[in-house]
Amino acid sequence: MPRGPMRQGFGFAVEAAVPGGPRAGRLATPHGTVQTPLFMPVGTLASVKGVDVGRLADTGAGVVLGNTYHLHLRPGEEVVQAAGGLAAFMGWPGATLTDSGGFQIFSLADQVQITDAGASFRSHIDGAAVRLTPEDSMRIQQSLGADIAMQLDDVVGLPAEPARVEEAMRRSLAWAERCLAAHSRPDQALFGIVQGGLDPQLRRVSAEALAGMPFDGLAVGGLSVGEGAEAMRTTLAATMPHMPVDRPRYLMGVGRPIDLIDGVAAGIDMFDCVLPTRCGRTALAFTFAGVLKMRHARLRDDLRPIEEGCPCPACRHSRSYLRHLFLAGEMLGPILVSLHNLTMYARLMQQLREAILCGAFEAVAAGLRQQIDGDAD
């Protein structure tokens, strides 16, 4: 799979695609090849919360995401680098991706000041002053050593003033150039990030500009930041025609199962989101037949698993037992339901992929949409 901009050990091939629509592919990395569409579990601090790497592999996960902002603060990239990089540090045998820190600066940091030079802010842990430029982000991500790094971007919460949205988009483009210039690690891919809020014209400008740069993939950023599902779908529809078809396309921080179906339908190849583990910790289980509130009284004597046919460790237990674990405050409840949700997300991606490969995506997606977003029985 020879590709111009692709870094050493990387490759991306589309196996089947509906023009302008869903596609199935393969992404090769130095740590193995994964199938797309792909959901990437989030291991913020080099740990997918509550899930050991053996169990994580069993969920069907292919790529694990780490957060540059968090890892820079704790334990520091030098500790991760000394251990051989993010994958070695966390004992994960597969591929990894680090985000750039842009989203966490937007969502977590205090006293944020963003200029064209970069971001200055206070750590959310101890208030220490931290500065993050595009060059800093590249240096840190190259030390963390994930297979895929992301450009630093300027992320805006929505709704926002049009001038601020445009400023952030243009600044992200300038930072994209600087990230490419600063990035030198040949065994690490680098993705650009499309910004532009809900404005189709800004999204187009951003996507076309980034498509002309030698990035190994492009992400759609700045969504799932308060705009609502319908606005996200509309923006995605306006953006995707301007995204290159020969490189992987990644929708950042999204989302619910129904959002993944929408994203795949629009031609997205990669997703990440904390929802499967965050909801797992708060007793919400995702199933193909809808969501299940694991603390609900009606589950008290329900001896069925969360989902029939699911191979995860939670589904070796009854709903009655899992409900008991949550009511009793046992940490095994969050552990097991996180494992279930990660498994469900991986199985959903697998079903969508198979549907694409056999030309049945529309029918399969329509069937899934009927139940997946409601309450499970």
Q: Is the dihedral of CA 363, 365, 370, 376 positive or negative?
A: positive
Pick between residue 79 and residue 363 the one whose CB is nearest to its own copies: 79
* Least distance (Å) between residue 330 CB and its own copies: 4
Helix (H), strand (E) at residue 270: strand 270-273
Which window, 34-42, 103-111, 168-176, 319-327, contacts its own copies (CB under 8 A)?
Answer: 319-327
Q: How far apart are CA 21 and CA 240, in angstroms?
A: 9
- Is residue 46 part of the contact set for its own copies (CB under 8 A)? yes
**Nearest to 154, CA basis, from 139, 138, 176:** 176
**Quick one: DSSP state of residue 313?**
G
Binding test (CB under 8 A) with its own copies, winner from 320, 362, 363, 375: 320
- Is residue 331 part of the contact set for its own copies (CB under 8 A)? yes
Binding test (CB under 8 A) with its own copies, winner from 327, 357, 364, 376: 327
- Is residue 335 part of the contact set for its own copies (CB under 8 A)? yes
* Least distance (Å) between residue 340 CB and its own copies: 12
CB 239 within 8 A of CB 194: yes
- Is residue 79 part of the contact set for its own copies (CB under 8 A)? yes
Q: How far apart are CA 287 and CA 300, in angstroms?
A: 19
259-278 binders of its own copies (CB under 8 A): none
The two tokens of residue 221 are 């950023």
- Which one-letter amino acid corresponds to residue 343? T
The two tokens of residue 4 are 């111009």
Number of shown-chain residues binding its own copies (CB under 8 A):
40
**Is the preceding omega at residue 257 within 30 degrees of 0, hence cis?**
no
Binding test (CB under 8 A) with its own copies, winner from 244, 313, 369, 371: 313
Pick between residue 52 and residue 199 the one whose CB is nearest to its own copies: 52
Q: How far apart are CA 154 and CA 171, in angstroms?
A: 7
Q: Which residues bind its own copies (CB under 8 A)?
A: 45-55, 70, 74-75, 79, 82-83, 89-91, 300-301, 303, 313, 316-318, 320-321, 323-325, 327-328, 330-332, 334-336
